[in-house]
Amino acid sequence: MKLQALLKKYSNQLTGLSALLILIAYSGKYLLNSYFLWTFALLLATFIGLVPIAFQAVQALKFKQVSIELLVSIAVIAALFIQEYEESAIVTFLFAFGAFLEKKTLEKTRSSIKSLTEIAPSTALRISGEVIDINDVKINDELLVKTGAQIPVDGSIYEGAGFVNESSISGESAEIKKGVGDKVFAGTLLENGSLLIQAEKVGEDTTFGKIIELVEEAQDTKSSAEKFIDRFAKYYTPSVLVLSFLIFIVSQDIKLAITLLVLGCPGALVIGPPVSNVAGIGNGAKKGILIKGGNIMTNFSQTDLLLFDKTGTLTKGKTQVSITKNYGASTELINQVAMLESQSDHPLAKAIIDEIVEFTKVPLQNIEVIKGQGISADHLLIGNEKLLENHQIFLNAQQKNDLIKLQKHGLSTVLIADDKVRLLYGITDEIRPNVKETLTRLKKQGIKELIMLTGDNESTAQSIAQQVGISQVYANLLPEDKAKIVQDYKLAGKKVAFIGDGINDSPSIALADVGIAMSSGTDIAIETSDIVLMSSNFDNLSYAHSLAKSTRKNMRQNILIALFVVIFLLSGLILGNSSGFIGQYVNMATGMFVHEASILLVILNAMRLIPHKKILSKNFPVAND
């Protein structure tokens, strides 16, 4: 292990020394006419270059893997055996120099992901003024955040106010006003103000920590193309070794056999698909789009049907009561309503509590949530018309007319009753900006069908759908109904993506080929979905789809480049061996040069995904990939 560490530490110096020795060799031959200096320098350069390559080959053999390093090592040793010192030295140098360039370009490919880890907070400031290591912060610790400082943990503000830039979480560089009671996230920046916060999540448990963890895991999650290439390489590389041996047995031409070893190296083929995925995933992460692996990229690029939840997805989920119809509700009943709704996390419940504002806490018993209908306690019912009818409470003509009128205007409705209908709330939920434009763009990008699924009433659902340009709607659905629709479309042969809030729609998100959560940093959204849109910017959905299509296209390009290079070199070797003309140019050294150049080419091609941008115009082009 010490040797491995040393070789890794001084790899650049060894490559430089190898280049210097090759330069000395050519100087000795052509300037000093010294065959000894020529031979000695080339042998020393070969040895210096071969040691790390052979070491990696041996390490791979311990795991029963026939690696590219093994092919090169055998070829170089055989070249030494037949006194092809020039080719052996050049091949080892090119292999090492190629590895150096690959490392540098791969670092650039991973730059988006690296930038995420670099902005992770490393220290925190106690109220006393003591600076402590981030790992020493505990839950419930009280911390001070000053202007220009990073927020070190996820927590709540208990004193102070300021403007926070949450671009590290959402990808949107916008200052958000925060005050007492508001949540703050680790890794975000306090642009102006001063905050006292109480830590609720620390370290890897913070939203930012989970984002970094998921992005790093996503790099290792392979697409179907990568898995196929891995299986192919597992048999291809040993096959090259066997074929070279057979060619030597039949032809007795050792130079031909070892040249085949070098030309057959599948480096670009192996590295091409994963480097595309790394670049694509990094690009998304930088913009607040978490894509959990290459397989998700592939699936989303092939999606032909998008199913949308309504509340919190097409709409903002920031509900408010706009119309109240009172049919004799007492103050006591209103207190009971507020108390019961405070037990629910439904957006409509929050709107009702905000409307009531002040209420007296009253005891309630027998609280029960009825899926798809509402909530009840003792004699109190809060929900839709079906809930009331199931308890033999019916609307009179005026109440029915009021209900229909509100629903036709696109309002969500909530009925409240004890022995009679007492209240009717009409609740609005603003549609997210750019929804209609984004849906139009998705169609331009190849999505064939857009369908809305909602638990809301038919009239409200149709009103929202008409505004955003969705023609097909399923209304009055329970969560299990949505999941069944997802399953039915999959059985019909559709490639289905479901977009929800990541909380109430987890069964549908799990069942879909691609589950997408519109999120504001909730744990459940990050954990259950395949793609998380960390910001409220709906346009990121079309960006994610555009990025997935570009990444898949880039991956296919890399595979074609790699296959073309291998076929070109092997064809050149075969033709050259028969004609004698091309053969003088296709040898170990040129083969290694082209091999390393092809690896750099696929990496550089993947790097085009790093600045990937979706251009918005009246024609809605997919992307400049």
Residues paired with residue 143 on neighbouring β-strands, in sequence order = 126, 197
Q: CB–CB of 283/494 below 8 Å? A: no
What is the pLDDT, as a whole number, of residue 9?
80
User: What confidence category does residue 128 fall into, taking pLDDT thresholds of 50, 70 and 90?
Assistant: confident
Contacts of 572 (CB under 8 A, 6+ apart): 582, 583, 585, 586
**How many of the other CB atoms lie within 10 Å of CB of 357?**
7
Quick check: 504 pLDDT over 70?
A: no
Give mean pLDDT, residues 213-217: 76
Tokens of 301: 């690029």
Task: Identify the pLDDT of residue 143.
Answer: 94
More confident residue, 1 or 427: 427
Domain extents in the chain:
1-109, 123-205, 315-430
Catalytic residue at 309?
Answer: yes
Over residues 138-156, mean pLDDT:
92
**Chain centroid, CA 409 distance in Å:** 38
Q: What is the CATH number of domain 315-430?
A: 3.40.1110.10
| Structure tokens belonging to residue 272 | 């091409």
Sign of the alpha-carbon torsion through 558, 559, 562, 563: negative
Give the residue-averaged pLDDT of 531-558. Answer: 90
Q: Which two tokens stand for residue 76?
A: 């170089």
Confidence category of residue 95, pLDDT binned at 50, 70, 90: confident
Q: On the CB side of 203, how many CA atoms lie within 13 Å of its CA?
A: 7
Q: Whole-angstrom Cα distance, residue 417 to residue 440?
A: 42
Helix (H, G, I), strand (E, B) or coil at 285: helix
Q: Name the helix (H) or strand (E) containing 460.
A: helix 458-468
Has residue 59 got a pLDDT over 80? yes
Q: What is the CATH number of domain 123-205?
A: 2.70.150.10
The pLDDT of residue 616 is above 50: no
pLDDT of residue 620: 39
Residue 575 or 516, more confident: 516
Expressed in angstroms, the distance from the first to the final Cα of the chain is: 42
Residue 479: name the closest of 331, 373, 320 by CA.
373
The full 3-state SS of 307-370, as one line of letters, equals EEEHHHHHEEEEEEEEEEEECCCCHHHHHHHHHHHCCCCCHHHHHHHHHHCCCCCCCCCCCEEE
Q: Using the predicted structure, report yes or no on whether residue 219 has a pLDDT greater than 70.
A: no
Is pLDDT above 80 for 522?
no
**Residue 541 CB: number of other CB atoms within 10 A?**
25
What number is the average pLDDT over the span 171-197?
Answer: 87
Q: What is the pLDDT of residues 483-493, one digit of tens each?
A: 999 999 999 99
CA angle 211, 217, 218 (to 5 degrees): 85
Q: Measured between alpha carbons, how far is 201 from 215 in angstroms, rounded to an integer?
A: 19
Mean pLDDT of the residues in the chain? 85
Per-residue pLDDT tens over the stretch 76-90: 898 898 888 888 898
Strand partners, 175: 165
pLDDT tens sequence across 430-472: 899 899 999 999 999 999 999 999 888 888 889 899 999 999 9
**Can you give the pLDDT at residue 394?**
93
* pLDDT for position 502: 60
Given a cut of 60, whether residue 350 has pLDDT beyond it is yes
> What's residue 176's pLDDT?
87
User: What are the Cα distances from residue 46, in Å, to 80, 90, 297, 446?
Assistant: 9, 8, 42, 53
Burial zone of 245 (CB within 10 Å; 0-12 exposed, 13-18 middle, 19+ buried): middle
Assess contact for 427 and 407: CB atoms under 8 A: no
Highest mean pLDDT among 59-63, 119-123, 556-560: 556-560
Region of residue 587 (phi > 0: left; psi between -120 and 50: alpha; otherwise: beta): beta
Contact 382, 341 (CB under 8 A): yes
Q: What angle do CA 605, 598, 77 make, to 5 degrees?
A: 150
Find residue 126's DSSP bridge partners: 143
The one-letter amino acid code at 624 reads: N
Q: What is the pLDDT of residue 257?
A: 84
Minimum mean pLDDT range among 191-200, 473-482, 515-524: 515-524
Only one residue has tokens 């053999």, namely 61
pLDDT digits (tens, 9 = 90+) for 283-317: 888 888 889 888 899 999 999 999 999 888 898 87
CA distances from 540 to 266, 310, 434, 584 (A): 36, 17, 10, 54
Structure tokens at 181: 């009671």
pLDDT reading at 575 higher than 80: no
Q: Taking phi first (over 0 means left), then psi (-120 to 50 degrees means alpha), and beta for anything else, what does residue 342 get?
A: alpha
pLDDT band with cut points at 50, 70 and 90 for residue 525: low
* 324 within 8 A of 357, measured Cβ to Cβ: no
- Catalytic: which of 154, 309, 402, 625? 309
143, 153 Cβ separation under 8 angstroms: yes
The pairing of strands 412-417 and 380-383 is antiparallel
pLDDT at 546 over 70: yes
Q: What pLDDT, on a 0 to 100 scale, did the predictor assign at position 303?
A: 96
Give the separation between CA 234 and CA 580, rounded to whole angstroms: 33
Calpha distance 421→400 (Å, rounded) = 11
Q: Which two tokens stand for residue 14?
A: 């060894």
Tokens matching residue 563: 């296959």
What local confidence, expressed as pLDDT, does residue 226 receive? Answer: 76
Number of helices (H) and strands (E) in the chain: give both, helices first. 23, 20
Q: With 60 as the cut, is the pLDDT of residue 160 above it?
A: yes
pLDDT reported for residue 109: 64
> Rounded to an integer, what is the distance from CA 356 to the centroid of its chain?
41
Between residues 108 and 563, which one has the greater pLDDT? 563
Residue 619, pLDDT > 60, answer no
Res 624 pLDDT > 50 = no
How does pLDDT run across 234-277, given as a tens digit for each residue? Answer: 788 888 888 888 988 988 888 888 888 888 777 788 888 888 88
Q: How far is CA 513 from CA 335, 443, 497, 531, in A?
A: 45, 18, 6, 11
DSSP conformation class of 150: B
Instruction: Tell me the C-alpha to C-alpha distance, in Å, between residue 618 and each of 403, 436, 442, 445, 623.
Output: 40, 13, 13, 13, 14
Closest CA to 77 of 41, 105, 53: 53
pLDDT, mean of residues 203-208:
85
Mean per-residue pLDDT, 358-371: 83
Using only C-alpha atoms, what is the Rg of the chain?
32
